[in-house]
Structure 1
């Protein structure tokens, strides 16, 4: 059995309308993405900090998945009429074969050895080394399986540098992998922040999977967190952010304020050619350096000036 998926290229002004129209015509799912993805014309990801909330890519592509017996031409005629479009939009159709998506997804993620003492273990696997620190992880709808180089760079830094009892802020926590790993490595208290409520929910669930004490970890959609006990003035010893270069630059003042004087910052999601720009954005508060690299990604770290 295969599903019919329709792809329509459009602009930012029409993308949401087309997506809604596809759903009204019975689409099982709808996706809006950059029509120039994976090219040198690719634009920043929708919803990055600093961009208008309703902004999508200038050249967008909308896709909708339908039952195999759906008359796609009739669907497109109805959408053209409903949106009062002057012409039938150009579109293409692809057949998507039915698969066991759960098994397929799980097969792509195996236990990951970060160091001799730290492993990331998906919930559907047994820990290869029961004596190690095993972070049991179910990413759910959130980013962060431990497989991406940017996540592994952060985890390796935490494993080598985190001090016992330190407080930590994981900004853009996704699945909670970095915050929870910090707790298991000896952090005294962690806070995870993500603008996506699904990520906050996934982080809570993963904290429970790893027997984290609720009093030691807080996950929320904004920082500072109301009624959350951090250290003095709402600042923490370590701030880690595994996002992307553009939002990291926009977030520099926020992350700087969250770091105590003399505290440390750890930034990932930065490609090597972007490193100097990202470090420059933080240089008024931190002594920055390139700490490590993996594939094309670099890890930036810094110590906050004592007079800031």
Structure 2
């Protein structure tokens, strides 16, 4: 199927807010390029690796949307989210169908998180080592490969928990990477929640490939009567994290560890105040310009 590509040239300091805005608009994928490169296609980054944020002075963000997405609506909403944006900065291009998953695979290498958790792409065989916990991933167009700092923060948090026999809710599951990692680390069952049907398909598919499909259920928000979980994690955006705090509190059992991320540095104080109503032992951890808040549901 064809796609609609939105391109936007920004300064390095504008990149985090622009990428967050495009995520909020529902971009299926976001690639980064050196805006001044003579051959930019050779320098595309499908999702920057940990510690590998580009040092280019100007960056081209290419966001992929469904072909039928309203172009004028995208520009108007982007202008509301980004006060510095001029409509002339936005360029659209119709893109023929490509094997986006395979192109992504060329950028993705094995990565470790915490003491024993590893994320491997399907094109690289992991070593035979019983001490390693390996998640094999092919996320397709759904976000979440472990390379983004927020995903890395969440994976490291999960690796540090005792998950044996526990139930887990992963809100904003994307590729399913967090829920699947929790299951591979010993959780008894997990629920993935996402408002993007593509994410639910990718999560179920990745769970099948990792041999944990019978332990993972996926739902759209509000679907069915969902029981509260022993562990709760959400990696979305600061705005929804604030709005959904009461929902998250209801989905976490008393005493349950929780973690939220997708938070830009500077956004954490408001969320700390918001979550203090229901959660204790609040702690902030950072990586690059991103923040994770963790704690425990009040008993």
TM-score w.r.t. length of structure 2: 0.70
Task: Tell me which residue corresponds to 1:63.
Answer: 92
- Aligned partners of 2:134, 2:221: CA distance in 1, in Å? 28
Q: Give me the whole-angstrom Cα distance separating, in 1, the residues matched to 2:145 and 2:244.
A: 24
| 1:136 CA drift (Å) | 0.5
**In the alignment, structure 1 residue 177 sits paired with structure 2 residue 177:** yes
- Supply the RMSD in Å over aligned alpha carbons: 3.0
Choose which of 244, 250, 253 in structure 2 pairs with 1:251.
244
Q: Which runs of 5+ in 2 are unaligned?
A: 28-69, 80-86
**1:142–1:207: structure 2 CA closer, same or farther, 3 Å change rule?**
same
Paired with 1:294 and 1:108, the residues of 2 have a C-alpha distance of 21
Question: Where does residue 25 of structure 2 map in the other structure?
Answer: 46
Task: Provide the C-alpha distance between the structure 1 equivalents of 2:92 and 2:259, rounded to a whole number of angstroms.
Answer: 37
Structure 2 CA distance for partners of 1:101 and 1:207, relative to 1, 3 Å: closer
Q: 1:147 to 1:246 in 2, by over 3 A?
A: same
1:39 and 1:135 mapped to 2: Cα distance?
A: 29
- Render the CA deviation track for 1:27-81: whole Å, top value 9, x for unaligned: 9532357787936985842269xxxxx96415353512379xxxxxxxxxxxxxx
Deviation at 1:263, TM superposition (A): 1.5
| Residue deviations 1:92-150 (CA, integer Å, cap 9, x gap) | xxxxxxx9866542221001111342110011111145431110110111111111111
Matches within 5 A, 1:126-205: 126-128=125-127, 130-131=129-130, 132-205=132-205
Runs of 4+ in 1 over 6 A off after TM superposition: 33-37
Residues 131-140 or 216-225, more deviating: 216-225
Report which of the two structures shows the higher radius of gyration computed on alpha carbons: 1
Whole-angstrom CA distance in 2 between matches of 1:66 and 1:146: 26
CA distance in 2, matches of 1:149, 1:40: 12
- Could you tell which deviates more after superposition, 132-141 or 292-301? 292-301
State whether residues 194 and 200 of structure 1, in contact with CA within 8 Å, keep that contact through their aligned partners in structure 2: yes
Matched, 1:260 2:253: yes
Tell me which of 30, 35, 46 is aligned to 2:4.
30
Please tell me whether the aligned partners of residues 245 and 270 of structure 1 are also in contact (alpha carbons under 8 angstroms): yes
Cα deviation digits, residues 240-285 of structure 1 (max 9, x gap): 0011211111111111111112222101111221111111121111
Structure 1, unmatched stretches of 5+, are 1-26, 49-53, 68-98
Q: How many residues align?
A: 238
Larger CA deviation: 186-195 vs 267-276: 267-276
Contact 1:279 1:288 in 2 (8 A): no
Could you say which residue in structure 2 is the equivalent of 1:18? none
- Residue aligned with 2:254, SS: strand
The 8 Å contact of residues 101 and 141 in structure 2, kept in 1 or not, is answered as no
Rounded Cα–Cα distance in structure 2 between residues aligned with 1:183 and 1:169 = 11
- What is the TM-score of this pair, normalised by structure 1? 0.68
